[in-house]
Structure 1
Amino acid sequence: MWKGQFFRLTEHTVIDPPREYSKAVQHGLDIFCRDMTIVFGKEPKIHDTSSGSILRLTYAAKEESLGRPESYQIKFYEDVDQQLVMEISCEDDLGIIYGLLYLSETYLGIDPFWYWADLPIRKHNYVDIPMEHYSSPESMVKYRGWFVNDEVCLIGWKEEYPPTKEVWQPVFETLLRCGGNMVIPGTDLPKTGIHQELAVEMGLWVTHHHAEPLGAEMFLRAYPNETASYKENAPLFEKLWIDAINKQKNDKIIWTLSFRGQGDTPFWSTDPSFDTPQKRGELISEVVHRQFELIKERVNNPVCCMALYGEISELYKGGYINVPEDVIKVWADNGYGKMVSRRQENENLRISSLPMDNDTSPQGIYYHVTFHDLQASNHLTMTPLPIGILTNELENVLETGGKDLWLINSGNIRQHLYPLDLIKDMWKKGKINSSDHRREFLKRTYASDSKKLSLLYEKYSEATLYFGNHEDEKAGEQFYHHPARRIISHWLSGETDTAMKSLKWATGEMSFEEQITWFKDRLTVGLTDLQSLREQANEIMDTLSEENKQRFHDQLMVSIILHESGCRGFLLLLKGYVHSCSGKYPEAFVYVTEAHRAYKESLLALHQSEHGKWRDFYRADWLTNIASTIDNVNTVRKFLRMHGDSPDFFQWYKAFIMPETEKHIYLENTHRRVRSDDELSDLLKEEFLKDGRIKLC
């Protein structure tokens, strides 16, 4: 009947929701009405169906239902008053929300990441929707969402703490636009914050950090004077769990069963009596079974999962842990995108953490597109893992049965849109072609400039350096900061005659001098490719439209600059150390000053992304902490100047800069002005480059 015809959505279209609906549906309506207002320039009417076409929202009758949660159908008809109706018939609240957001993306042109990528929304007088029956496809993954973890940018963005609705609402809205239905809303935030309440209000399932089982308060925060031992204080632990269950039992919760130590560390690190895998596994099994019992006593048909993370994964695969039946087993990657066990300090067993393909119980994953480990992870930059490897890992997860839950560590969202968008497609559809996805993503993000940028996005992962011998052991920006600050501490503390245990995860067993050489060699090799990448990016930047220049800077250029300037800064710092060991303090001073300037380029790149609504977005960079690295390096150059230029801070100027004709006859009151570190370094650099004393990178 309607073939070839269109339903015209305009400012006059009336939205007719169910007579009674939840707060979640209200949020969905608010989002869709805002979208319509932006596109058509006028806020749509609600309920008033006396004129205009009608967009009707209904809960499907049993005989018309698709028979699965979150589903919806779109159909067209004329009502008794001969008004044209487009009806979204939905299974539940999320069905209504997804149906509205489908219309918003497909016909109003609202990109899922429009907020984070600053994508413009085109205005229209109307949009035409084909009058063809549409049934929503079933998502490949049942529970799918983000762990908004290490979210310091979101925390520091605004003055208020904990973050307010202004910060959290765009996060949850974007997740819903991506077809997500589950979230861990932040890490160890005050229970007084709005984050969990708002997530539930917007229709999302909430789950918990593996270090905060059941969403309960940390034991030592509740009982600071007690011993955090289940063996000694089981009733106190159970009271916290019961309180958490009672508080959340009326919400959509995926209950996380787990037992680690306080502060996200193994409990046996503070209780040496658990000195065998068997003892550790027995206690974990006892605790999670008890947690499961407490939930079942208070919640009908609870959905539960257990995080097989780090050492717990190894214990489970060793046969030491028993997981309750029907609990979703959540496996984890190593933080760098490979489904193997995480490195624990200097131990890197790389035991497979893929779901076990002979296990018929529900299974899922916890997967990082961003990570923080005080070693070599990416936090402020886009993942350096080649997208082909990421895609392959997730395909392997699906093939081994990991379809029940995908929890993606999304960090601060803004820096990670490309991999988050790809994973969005995978949790909806399953296998995808990563090249096709890249072209589609860039076309949405950069329109006419997309072809220029495709190869650059591909080369980004190729140019980032390896810190290890495995395909996933690619360095994020933290590699240029945490090891650098550790080396500075070791150096200035006068401990250079001993190796640094904290760097053995990278270098293995070797002396401190050999560790310095190891890092220098890695950085030297990596810098060549990174400098080439940055040059190509600068050339392409000049050809982009003005609108896309800022977007490209925010989405990829910042990552490139943080890698290239960080790598260069770290290498120059190490060159300064080597020259200081030979007593060449003026040369070392120049190298370290150049390192200081390189690291400041990283900070400048962040500041240049803090435009408009993003003002102060990077204010709370406490994890990579570029500002701290700059301060540390500044301390080094002042320390070096103490060696030969002190106490008058004129000696190097006199020795290397002052003309020979003046050195022995000058008057101190006219020639002895102390040069700043930057000024003196520039003068020394010019002289040292001439005579080959230094070679900058």
Structure 2
Amino acid sequence: MLDRNNQLQLKGTVHIHTAEQLPSAVQYALRMLTRDFETVLGSKPELVSNSEAAELCIRFAAEQDHCPQRAEAFGFRFYAQDSGTTSPSTSMHIVGHDTLGLVYGLLEFSRIYLGIQPFWFWADQAIEQRSEIRIPCESYDSPEAKVRYRGWFVNDEVCLIGWKKPYPPSPEVWEPVFEALLRCGGNMVIPGTDLPRDGIHYKLASEMGLWVTHHHAEPLGAEMFLRAYPGRNASYHEAPELFERLWEEAIEEQKDMNVLWVLSFRGQGDKPFWIDDPAFDTSEKRGAMISKVIRKQYDMIGSAVANPVCCVALYGEISELYKGGYIDLPDDVIKVWADNGYGRMVSRRHGNLNLRVPSLPTAGDQGEHGLYYHTTFHDLQASNHLTLFPGSAAFLKQEIEAAFDAGADQYLLLNCGNIRMHLYSLDIIRELWTIGEIDIEQHLQRFVSSYYSDTDHYRELAELYRTYSEAALQYGLNADDLAGDEYYHHPARQMIGHWLQGKVDQPDPRLFWAVGEVPFDAQVKGFETRLASGMQQWKAWLDRCDEVLAKLGEDDRKRAIDQLRFQGAIHLSGCEGFYWLCRAYDDFRQQRYAQAFVCASQSMWCYQEGLKVLRQSEHDKWEHFYEADWLTNIESTVHNVDTLRRFIRMFGDSPDFFLWYKEYLMPVTEKYIYLENTHRNPLSDDELAKRLGEFFNSSF
């Protein structure tokens, strides 16, 4: 019914009319909308067959609707209808130009009028219940997105694997991922990497309306060669028919889906193919082979699929060969440029090699271009995996808008991790791929107000998001050299291994990227100096975070702990753990073994605090969410440091593990008269470390 302001009023049980046969994607979206109505109005909508009895009609656009004639367009229209009374009623029609248009229309209705935000599930949004909804009877047409193909690479299966018991992950895991992507206006996805082929991830993504695409290490989505042909040499030069058989099977399996076909040729395990095929020892040979393979894949798809959309990932060595003029690509493939994993559009670091070659099309590059971009990354060095992207919103704006200006705006594949910890960055990219530009301050205010209910503290919450990047540890000279959580763990475990293997008389080459080609003692000191600064920064940010948390209501406080404090606590615990590890080494090399043991114990306790933070965040529906933290792997670091302190205790306290107690802790009155049969019960590592720490009058 209409109110006096010509607004459509919806209350109680809303009646919805749909076409009899809806595509599966629209059916999924309708179930989302039905759930949203029930959550907000407290009553489940009723589907009716008579459009005259419905307040809301969902259908494909007809000529009289004048819906924009382009892919994914939708509109809201209002029509008077004969209700059988003296005054006609009005119904709202959500009309779509195509399937995805209708899906977006339903989800945008939910956002605008029901208040359901794109990340409602992942942010634990508190959804306001209402007695009625008022909708102005004004036609609306959806704007065209800046980027034609836009979506996520869900490259964080470990958290999603550990979260629920079924493997490969079930719809219970994937549906919230795909729903959030659709609510962000995304239309394509790589649902994981190298998951079992009997999983439902690709099929479900397609059923929900998403284009599926592929990892650059899995061209055409084909099975890995060595998995299909174990024991064979993975050489296209030697056995092209075997590779092509896998490609044919992949094409046949996916030809009825919407697919962005990734053409590529890398070696098994996501590395250059010539590592397994060393005959290709020049850029000319390598480029010629990649060009040949990509052309063959392109022709195979073209013969089986009408009007296919193909792209080539200019990633790693392929980018370098392309820029050198060694690769020839079909004219109509989308060339996809990649950032370095840390958000800068330059070539990625390979071990210690960091050429930082610009990774964007130049004025002479013809055809269509796109981006493969990271807001989360895994590289065994300094990437962020468990925590939010450490760069600022201004940095993301600068890089993406510059890429669009360079013409890389046809495609944007975002490495989104496991969604939950990366919401702010994902929402920034959502606005960029939709509009093409962003006002970061206005966006931040909208983001905070969308997910927090305490209006009195929006400004302070926004300040925490804004200053998060300012607290990040700067480990190098480049603006994007900001430490993610892996920085505190992979280098630390490498350092421990180098130490315990007795190699301290030589530098660890694996650490050159971080602290230079200097002796091992200086490498350790280089980390210690950086970590000392990082500890101060993260401690100050976390203190400010706690001040704000103390002012929030229970729901907002819980949400802010998961979305904000969690991040700082992971950084601070890792930073402190690594710092005390470095201090332990300094004491050890000066043969202050008891002091080194205490420092190593303090290191372990700090890393254990990180584990505690993970466990505390696994509440309610998030139980076991970090069960499979196998990449940053905080638990492994704890075990490594525990091994180290046991090793250190061998120096000076062995073999009876009573000597340090006798030297430092035993009362003087007992030290020279005790009987061994009553005083030889060794203290545990933790108890000894705590009591020694107190004796040495340390700050810990």
Aligned pairs for 1:213-228 within 5 A: 213-228=219-234
Amino acid at match of 1:32: L
Q: 1:134 aligns with which of 104, 129, 140?
A: 140
Aligned pairs for 1:531-550 within 5 A: 531-550=539-558
Aligned pairs for 1:349-428 within 5 A: 349-428=355-434
1:651 corresponds to: 659
Q: 1:260 aligns with which of 260, 266, 271?
A: 266
- CA drift at 1:433: 0.8
CA distance in 2, matches of 1:74, 1:502: 58
1:492 and 2:500 are equivalent in the alignment: yes
Deviates more, 1:47-56 or 1:156-165: 47-56
Aligned residues of 1:53 and 1:84 also touching (Cα < 8 A)? no
Note the alpha carbon deviations across 1:109-158, whole angstroms, 9 max, x for none.
Answer: 11111100111111112101100010111111111100000321111101
Aligned pairs for 1:9-48 within 5 A: 9-48=10-49
CA distance in 2, matches of 1:307, 1:50: 48
Identity of counterpart residues, as a percentage?
51
Note the alpha carbon deviations across 1:149-205, whole angstroms, 9 max, x for none.
Answer: 032111110111000000000000010111111100111100100111100000000
2:650 corresponds to: 642
Aligned pairs for 1:208-287 within 5 A: 208-287=214-293
Q: 1:113 aligns with which of 111, 115, 119?
A: 119
Aligned residues of 2:160 and 2:169 also touching (Cα < 8 A)? yes
Amino acid at match of 2:262: T
Question: TM-score scaled by structure 1?
Answer: 0.97
CA distance in 2, matches of 1:445, 1:671: 59
Aligned pairs for 1:270-309 within 5 A: 270-309=276-315
Q: What SS does the aligned partner of 1:250 have?
A: coil
Amino acid at match of 2:664: F
Note the alpha carbon deviations across 1:504-539, whole angstroms, 9 max, x for none.
Answer: 222232221221121112112222212211222222
Q: 1:317 aligns with which of 323, 334, 341?
A: 323
CA distance in 2, matches of 1:359, 1:17: 47
Aligned residues of 1:4 and 1:131 also touching (Cα < 8 A)? no
CA distance in 2, matches of 1:251, 1:484: 45
1:600 and 2:608 are equivalent in the alignment: yes
CA distance in 2, matches of 1:357, 1:73: 37
Q: What SS does the aligned partner of 1:107 have?
A: helix
CA distance in 1, matches of 2:506, 2:544: 41
- CA drift at 1:304: 0.6
CA distance in 2, matches of 1:333, 1:223: 33
CA distance in 1, matches of 2:81, 2:351: 67
- CA drift at 1:19: 2.2
Aligned residues of 1:2 and 1:132 also touching (Cα < 8 A)? no
- CA drift at 1:327: 0.5
Amino acid at match of 2:356: R
Q: What SS does the aligned partner of 2:114 have?
A: coil
CA distance in 1, matches of 2:38, 2:28: 15
Q: 1:481 aligns with which of 471, 489, 511?
A: 489
Aligned residues of 1:465 and 1:474 also touching (Cα < 8 A)? yes
1:124 corresponds to: 130
Q: 1:66 aligns with which of 65, 68, 73?
A: 68
Amino acid at match of 2:480: D
Amino acid at match of 2:367: S
Aligned residues of 1:11 and 1:36 also touching (Cα < 8 A)? no
Amino acid at match of 1:9: L
Q: 1:521 aligns with which of 523, 529, 553?
A: 529
- CA drift at 1:256: 0.4
Amino acid at match of 1:146: W
CA distance in 1, matches of 2:547, 2:655: 47
- CA drift at 1:678: 1.0
Q: 2:640 aligns with which of 629, 632, 648?
A: 632
CA distance in 1, matches of 2:507, 2:172: 48
Aligned residues of 2:154 and 2:189 also touching (Cα < 8 A)? yes
CA distance in 2, matches of 1:537, 1:435: 19
Note the alpha carbon deviations across 1:580-610, whole angstroms, 9 max, x for none.
Answer: 1111100000000000010011111111100
Q: What SS does the aligned partner of 2:239 have?
A: helix
Q: What SS does the aligned partner of 1:339 have?
A: coil
Q: What SS does the aligned partner of 1:488 have?
A: helix
- CA drift at 1:356: 2.8
CA distance in 2, matches of 1:507, 1:323: 40
- CA drift at 1:470: 0.4
1:674 corresponds to: 682
Aligned residues of 1:13 and 1:52 also touching (Cα < 8 A)? no
**Gaps in structure 1 of 5+ consecutive residues:** none
Aligned length: 692
2:101 corresponds to: 95
Q: What SS does the aligned partner of 1:305 have?
A: strand
Amino acid at match of 2:222: A
2:511 corresponds to: 503
- CA drift at 1:670: 2.8
Aligned residues of 1:140 and 1:430 also touching (Cα < 8 A)? yes
1:84 and 2:90 are equivalent in the alignment: yes
**Gaps in structure 2 of 5+ consecutive residues:** none
CA distance in 1, matches of 2:137, 2:355: 57
Deviates more, 1:353-362 or 1:439-448: 353-362
Amino acid at match of 1:18: A
Deviates more, 1:432-441 or 1:269-278: 269-278
- CA drift at 1:422: 0.9
- CA drift at 1:62: 4.9
Q: What SS does the aligned partner of 1:88 have?
A: strand
Aligned residues of 1:142 and 1:404 also touching (Cα < 8 A)? yes
Aligned residues of 2:220 and 2:261 also touching (Cα < 8 A)? yes
1:443 and 2:436 are equivalent in the alignment: no
- CA drift at 1:77: 1.1
Aligned pairs for 1:578-593 within 5 A: 578-593=586-601
- CA drift at 1:4: 4.3
- CA drift at 1:540: 2.0
CA distance in 2, matches of 1:104, 1:225: 53
- CA drift at 1:573: 0.5
2:197 corresponds to: 191
Q: What SS does the aligned partner of 1:416 have?
A: helix
Q: What SS does the aligned partner of 2:429 have?
A: helix
Aligned residues of 2:583 and 2:599 also touching (Cα < 8 A)? yes
- CA drift at 1:9: 2.2
Question: TM-score scaled by structure 2?
Answer: 0.97
Amino acid at match of 2:11: T
CA distance in 1, matches of 2:508, 2:173: 41
Q: What SS does the aligned partner of 1:375 have?
A: coil
1:7 corresponds to: 8
Aligned residues of 2:48 and 2:54 also touching (Cα < 8 A)? no
Deviates more, 1:170-179 or 1:541-550: 541-550
CA distance in 1, matches of 2:286, 2:396: 32
Aligned residues of 1:355 and 1:364 also touching (Cα < 8 A)? no
Amino acid at match of 2:282: T
Amino acid at match of 2:642: N
CA distance in 2, matches of 1:56, 1:666: 90
- CA drift at 1:2: 11
Amino acid at match of 1:142: R
Note the alpha carbon deviations across 1:72-124, whole angstroms, 9 max, x for none.
Answer: 11111112444422111211111111111111000001111110011111111
CA distance in 2, matches of 1:562, 1:581: 29
Amino acid at match of 2:339: D
Q: 2:110 aligns with which of 71, 90, 104?
A: 104
Amino acid at match of 1:76: F
